[in-house]
Amino acid sequence: MTVPLLEVRNLRVEFPTRRGTLVALDDVSFSIAPGEVLGVVGESGAGKSMTGAAIIGLLEPPGRIAGGQILLNGRRIDNLPYAELRRIRGREIGAIFQDPLTTLNPLYTVGRQLVETMTTHLPLNPAQARAKAIEWLELVGIPAASQRIDSYPHEFSGGMRQRVVIALALCAEPKLIVADEPTTALDVSIQAQVIALLKSLAREKGTSMMLVTHDMGVIAETADRVAVMYAGRIVEIGAVRRVVQHAAHPYSSGLMGSIPPVGRRLDRLQQIDGAMPRLSAIPRGCPYNPRCPQVFDRCRVERPELMPAEGNLAACWLYDGAPQHA
Amino acid sequence: MRDVAIQGVSPTFGSTGAGPMLETHDVARHFDVSRPLVQRLMAGEGRRLLRAVDGVSFAIARGTTLSLVGESGCGKSTVARLVVGLYPPSRGGVTFDGQDLAQARREAAQRRRMQMIFQDPYASLNPRWRVADIIAEPIRAFGLAQTRAQIEARVAELLTQVGLSPLDGQKFPHEFSGGQRQRISIARALSSNPEFLVCDEPTSALDVSVQAQILNLMKDLQARLGLTYLFISHNLAVVRQVSDRVGVMYLGRLVELAPAETLFETPRHPYTKALMEAIPDLEMTGRQRIPVGGEVPSPIDPPSGCPFHPRCPLANDRCKAERPEMIPARGTPQTLVACHAVEEGRDAA
């Protein structure tokens, strides 16, 4: 087994509030191998974006890491001082967010933003960086890159802007990209272009990626492995194909079943009744137990850890001591 | 078609019972986006019109669902607003149950028969009103129940119908999740016993498991109450689940209109095909997808001829010059398609 590029161990993120401490992430552990794409899927409030934010050190106060470790190349990065973290962010971890308009500085030309990123992190002078910036813009498919480099973000369309953001995230050649809903704000035809681009660039440069999205289709096409999150915990993690076709956790299989297929018409979609619990009211035991069709007594009392299930790992008592398939 | 009794309503309101529920005839809506007069004179430029919807014709049969699908800026939401009379058309007309819409909007008895459900359940419910009051407002406005007890009974019935508890009426919207709020929106829309609902991206703001709940609820209600839906969405997979007919829009025009199964099994317009190609595939057949190049052009200055020609793999000189009309497609005559390539048979292979 290769050394993982990123390792997250028992991560716990808390939000202290007047009415007590809310636990947004509870005991989240996973790793990403070099060159691997890990998809993180879940519904709003499941903690998937929070996990990404914790890794790049951009948790919004009062949120804070209350336990666990984040290791990049075997080195702890969750407790670094701000200046050192800033050096890592950009150089070793690139970030792509949902909304390209808030990621880019509207007052600077895209060229200036690319040049600044590269001169900060790489041993390049401004002229070299500018030449490199044009190369990057060409690489992400911006037509007439040598002219467009002096345009401002508002002069680009949404899809083109997200291409600029991708160039910005990749230009310092980080080892890991954290992409949080990178295509959610885009139309489907543009989304397909951007995913294809992200995939080919990551493969070409050997970059690892943590792809956070609620769109299982995007993950199915892009990721190698997927982690399914629910109420601040990982409930299942495994190879994408396994999880899509043989989800072990009742929540993951419910989630897969509720995605409307484009290939055929169903009389009724499979639905999960109820809604995800609020952070202030996460039930005892397994957090999914009030909605779970296969719930039994143990689920209401004792919290399951990730355990082997159907070739994946699932946090579900159904698989405790059950005979395992390969 | 109209054998399903509409609950609690005697079908006397001028309904002929025959013909489509709703029809649009070459309806268009243009917005003036010119700069202020002085600036315009100084720059020597004319008026600029944004043709959000530019000649759209369709009909929706009673008790069925027509979906309009397309990317941002294609005009689908503007059509939704035209159809309920929130915008007057710049050209063409809309008839509701055989009556001109502008006329129908003037009569409360007709207005009651159409309602709208919006995308954002956080913005479309008044945060200061209790849920029971939100749902009761149309009942009071249209005078559908006289006594307080009658109104309360009706609100409780509506809440139950959308899968909430009658006790939820005493709560405020912020106490509910997104999916529950959309249920409240639906209960409010149903409170005037409408026959026609316009649903503008009703599940786009919801998580996928909750989306399934709402789509199932909408299907149940349609079967139970005989509702007619105009369903607006950008999500083809959702559209396939709910529609009887589907219209694909591009830059303010319909490019293809067909029965749902025909459209999904044999899409004809190159844009429809491109849209389907672009959907990420859960089944992971490992197919090599060829995403359509380019982006949707600005509706202020649309391309000449067929608006899709700059992105179309089949475009030729005729497509650049001449605007295609919606005509029955070769091979699938139930499909109306606006494409020269289909008309000439160049889309084979």
Q: Lowest mean pLDDT: which of A119-133, A238-252, B242-256, B271-285?
A: B271-285
Residues with Cβ within 8 Å of B16's Cβ and at least 6 positions away in sequence, in order, are B97, B98
Q: Compute the C-alpha angle A133/A137/A142, nearest 5°.
A: 155
Cβ-based contacts of A44 with chain B (< 8 Å): 178, 207
Of B178, B280, B289, the CB nearest to A218: B280
Rounded mean pLDDT of A207-228? Answer: 91
Report CB contact under 8 Å: B215, A214. Answer: no
Tell me the percentage of chain A whose pLDDT exceeds 90.
58
Q: Which of A161, A188, A226, A258 to mutate to test the interface with B (most CBs of B within 10 A)?
A: A188
Residues of chain B that touch chain A, judged by Cβ-Cβ distance less than 8 Å: 71-72, 177-180, 207-213, 215-216, 219, 234-238, 240-241, 260-261, 264, 274-284, 289, 291-293, 295-296
Q: What is the DSSP letter of A292?
A: -
- Examine residue A62 and say whether the peptide bond preceding it is cis (omega within 30 degrees of 0): yes
As for the ipTM of the complex, it is 0.81
Where does the pLDDT of residue B152 fall: very low under 50, low under 70, confident under 90, or very high at 90 and above? very high
Taking alpha carbons only, the member of A236, A228, A218 closest to residue A181 is A218
Query: What's the confidence (pLDDT) of residue A323?
Result: 55
Q: What is the pLDDT of residues A66-76, one digit of tens each?
A: 999 999 999 99
Query: What's the confidence (pLDDT) of residue B14?
Result: 45
Rounded mean pLDDT of A42-67? Answer: 90
Chain A to chain B, count of Cβ pairs less than 8 Å apart? Answer: 120
Query: What's the confidence (pLDDT) of residue B233?
Result: 93
Domains and CATH numbers, chain B: 22-113+196-282 (3.40.50.300), 119-193 (no CATH)
Report CB contact under 8 Å: A272, B238. Answer: no
- B116 by Cβ neighbours in 10 Å (0-12 / 13-18 / 19+) ranks as buried
Residues with Cβ within 8 Å of B111's Cβ and at least 6 positions away in sequence, in order, are B104, B105, B142
A159 near B CB under 8 A: yes
Where does the pLDDT of residue B284 fall: very low under 50, low under 70, confident under 90, or very high at 90 and above? low
Rounded-to-integer distance, Cα A47 and Cα A102, Å? 21
Rounded mean pLDDT of A179-195? Answer: 84
Half-sphere exposure of residue A18: CA atoms within 13 angstroms, side-chain side: 0
Q: Nearest residue of A to residue B179 by CA position?
A: A275
**Residue listed under structure tokens 């050209």:** B91
pTM for the whole thing? Answer: 0.85
3-class SS of residue B198: strand
Q: What is the pLDDT of residues B208-254, one digit of tens each?
A: 888 999 999 999 999 999 999 999 999 999 999 999 999 999 999 99
Report CB contact under 8 Å: B282, A43. Answer: no
Q: Which pair of structure tokens corresponds to residue B49? A: 């019109």
3-class SS of residue A312: strand
In angstroms, the separation between the Cα of residue B259 and the nearest Cα of chain A is 13
